[in-house]
Amino acid sequence: MALTGTYVPSAAQWVRDQVAEYEASNGEKAGTLRGSEYPVVVITSVGSKSGNLRKNPVMRVERDGAYLAVASKGGADDDPAWADNFRQHPEVELQDKAEKHTYTVRELSGEEREDWWQHAVATWSTYASYQEKTDRLIPLFLLERA
């Protein structure tokens, strides 16, 4: 089911620009983390307070058709806003290049979280340094096709 609502772009100009270019080119442009060759996907979620649609580029961590959204916020002491969106509205749209589908979201814990954390760090080792910067356990969200 496609998400409905009013899209309100991010307050951050670089996020607005990357999302617009990514979507317009089906991920052929703006498909990597700024200044790197690491691929990203764009996730559309429903705002936890506003109910508006929000779009964020997130590192592409995928395994067997499921995606992981790592709420690292660069090792900050608080979660990114989209983490609350996922908790309140656990249905999102994910675009990976030209492929766009609806996914259900659940926050991981225990052994399953540890398994996916190891996969995330193997995909992008910087996640380990982000965890070292903060006392909070970085939330992991598993996105599975609806």
Helix (H), strand (E) counts: the chain: 4, 7
At 127 the three-state DSSP class reads: helix
| Residue 129, C-beta contacts closer than 8 angstroms, at least 6 positions apart | 75
Return the pLDDT at 21: 97
How confident is the model at residue 112, as a pLDDT?
98
* pLDDT of the residue at 1: 65
Each residue's pLDDT, cut to its tens digit, for the chain (146 residues) gives 689 999 999 999 999 999 999 999 999 999 998 888 999 999 999 999 999 999 999 999 999 999 999 999 999 999 999 999 999 999 999 999 999 999 999 999 999 999 999 999 999 999 999 999 999 999 999 999 98
Q: Which residue bears the tokens 């109910």?
A: 51
Q: Report yes or no: 56 and 73 within 8 Å, Cβ to Cβ.
A: no
So where are the chain's domains?
A: 13-145
pLDDT of residue 50: 95
pLDDT at 2: 81
pTM of the model: 0.96
Unique residue bearing structure tokens 């995909």? 123
What single letter denotes the amino acid at residue 84?
A: D
Domain 13-145 class, CATH top level: mainly beta
